[in-house]
Amino acid sequence: MPWVLRGLRDGIVTTGYPRRPDADDVRSLARPLASARWEPGLDELCPTGAIRPWQHRVRLDQGGCIGCGACVRTRPDLFEWQEGIDDAWLTRDGLVVPELPETDPDLDRVRTALARRTRALRRSVHLRHVDAGSDGADEWEIQALLNPVYDVHRLGIFFTASPRHADILLVTGAGAHGMTAPLARTLDAMPRPVVVIAAGTDAVSGGLTSPSYAVSGGIGELLPVDVWVPGSPPSPFRLLHAILLATGRLPGTERAR
């Protein structure tokens, strides 16, 4: 009976996201201020080399950001934390800030093409998760999607052990060379249409382990990726946002017809 009493005491703990915004996600990615100008030595602030010069300005690849905060602590006049959970992008270049305006038409084409492909998925999707060389942190966040707080089942999202039943391939890890063939077999076994999500900084760029003899620079070198989710690790809210983005189910968006 303790669980009954706890339920009566705590009430409903499940988030209302995406129907209602949720402010409980406090993990953030770094980003340069709009006024930030390049100075020698700024690239040394990032252990993954995500900070680079661009037209005398500071450019930061959030796909390589591990959230250590070294740049924000050392140079708060140039860097800040980015708030929000809508960090997933349909293109790899979209994770680089400041954004490039010339990528907008390409992004629209990618979004339209993905919406057409996933229109058949309707309101129920199954995910197959594959670890391609993760440190285990990403897996804890994925597992949290099944707890009562996030409860992805309420949205018709389910995990499956068989790629033959899966609509989405969710990949974590830096892309170990030994996982190249298993990833290819998993993707080939999945019915079409299929969506591939690179979950976490390691999967996006290789993180701290790349370049290395053992891993690639993220899974983009091994698979065609549709959605890129930064974060080390990405929080359950960010993962949920990415899944909804991939299936065209975010509030305010419509599927392409």
The pLDDT tens digits of the residues spanning 123-171 come to 789 999 999 999 899 999 999 999 999 999 999 999 999 999 999 999 9
Query: Between residues 66 and 111, which one has the greater pLDDT?
Result: 66
Q: Could you tell me if 112 and 238 lie in one domain?
A: yes
Residue-level pLDDT at 256? 36
pLDDT at 102 exceeding the cut of 60: no
Q: Is a pLDDT exceeding 70 seen at residue 230?
A: yes
CA separation for the pair 145, 216 (Å, rounded):
27
Angle, helices 236-246/137-144, rounded to nearest 10 degrees: 70
Q: How many domains does one find in the chain?
A: 2
| Segment (H or E) for 58 | strand 57-61
Q: What CA–CA distance (Å, rounded) separates 167 from 248?
A: 14
| CA separation, residue 34 to residues 28, 44, 60, 128 (Å) | 17, 20, 12, 39
Check residue 209 and give its pLDDT. Answer: 83
* pLDDT-based confidence at residue 10 (cuts at 50, 70, 90): low
One domain for residues 146 and 63: no
Residue 57 CB partners (closer than 8 Å, separation 6+): 32, 36, 37, 38, 98
What is the arithmetic mean of pLDDT over 21-32? Answer: 75
- Tens-place pLDDT, residues 191-205: 888 899 999 999 999
Of the listed ranges 19-28, 178-187, 240-249, the one predicted with least confidence: 19-28
| 192 within a domain of the structure (yes/no) | yes
- Give the CATH number, domain containing residue 217: 3.40.50.12280
Tell the burial category of 185 from Cβ atoms under 10 Å away from its Cβ (0-12, 13-18, 19+).
Answer: exposed
The answer on 113 and 72 residing in a single domain is no
Q: 110 and 227 share a domain? A: yes
H or E segment to which residue 129 belongs: strand 125-131
Residues 6+ apart with CB under 8 A from 120: 193
Tell me, yes or no, whether 52 and 160 share the same domain. no
pLDDT higher than 80, residue 220: yes
Whether residue 68 sits in one domain with residue 38: yes
Residue 242 resides in a domain: yes
Q: What CATH number is given to the structural domain containing 44? A: 3.30.70.20
Q: Domain end: 48, 82, 116, which one? A: 82
Kindly state whether residue 255 falls inside one of the protein's structural domains: no
Q: Residue 254: pLDDT band by 50, 70, 90 thresholds?
A: very low
Name the residue range of residue 234's domain: 103-246
pLDDT computed for residue 122 by the predictor: 64
Question: CA 42, 215, 28, 100 torsion: positive or negative?
Answer: positive
pLDDT band at 6 (very low <50, low <70, confident <90, very high): low
Which helix (H) or strand (E) is 73 found in, with range?
A: helix 70-74
Shared domain for 119 and 71, answered yes or no, is no
pLDDT number for residue 95: 92
Distance of CA 198 to CAs 36, 75, 205, 219, 239, Å?
Answer: 29, 30, 9, 7, 10
Looking at the domain assignment, is residue 10 inside a domain? no
